[in-house]
Amino acid sequence: MNPIASKSRADRRAFVAKLLSTVPDALVVTGLGSAAYDVFAAGDRDLNYYLWGAMGGAAALGLGLALAQPTRSVVVITGDGEQLMGIGSLATIAAKQPRNLSIVVLDNGHFGETGMQRSHSSLGTNLVAVAKGFGIADAFAVDSLEGCDEVSRRVLSRDGVSFAQVFIEANEPPRALPPRDGPFIKNRFRSALGLKPF
């Protein structure tokens, strides 16, 4: 049992919708699966980059983006399973300490997309301790909608990399499927940043 696993849990859709409403200018990267659906359900934005694969790559992709756009807030929103697959990327991020990067792990302790098998975060892994151990000092857990403010404040301030573990209910809200057309999502995102085609 995770010693800090919380009994109280936030509703994932409400949490993500509230977070995104408070950081309207942020560049958002999602991990595949439910995190992408949550972000899309909160309203499609040109500055959302949805992954439909590349499992384990969301936080690392967010690092490359944060280093490329140091004056913009970058938020990675992903799930516990996706983050666990790319867990070493937290060390890579900590080594760079990008001030404008916030990682938000929606943690239901399960692999929701594949049949709700239990993940490591409900079998003993403490993701906040892991993030701190890798060198992300500002790592913390929240377990309610109110906790969203702690995340938003960090996203808006851009004064240090942060890692938020958001305990969410292990339910499956209705599917809300973002576009799967990778070049479209990429080009739309770059265009919204004012970048020209090569």
Binding site for other proteins (CB under 8 A): 27, 29, 49, 51-58, 60-69, 86, 88-89, 91-92, 95-96, 182-183, 185-186, 189-190, 193, 195, 198
Min. distance of Cβ 30 from other proteins in angstroms?
Answer: 13
Structure tokens at 100: 């404008």
Min. distance of Cβ 58 from other proteins in angstroms?
Answer: 8
For other proteins, give the closer residue by CB, 31 or 109: 31
For other proteins, give the closer residue by CB, 115 or 183: 183
Q: Give me the numbers of helices (H) and strands (E) for the chain, helices first please.
A: 8, 8
For other proteins, give the closer residue by CB, 173 or 182: 182
User: How far is residue 163's CA from residue 140's CA, in Å, rounded to a whole number?
Assistant: 6
What burial class does residue 45 get, using C-beta atoms within 10 Å of its C-beta: 0-12 exposed, 13-18 middle, 19+ buried? middle
Structure tokens at 153: 């404040």
Residue 12 and residue 38 in contact, taking contact as beta carbons nearer than 8 Å: yes
Min. distance of Cβ 31 from other proteins in angstroms?
Answer: 11
Min. distance of Cβ 161 from other proteins in angstroms?
Answer: 13
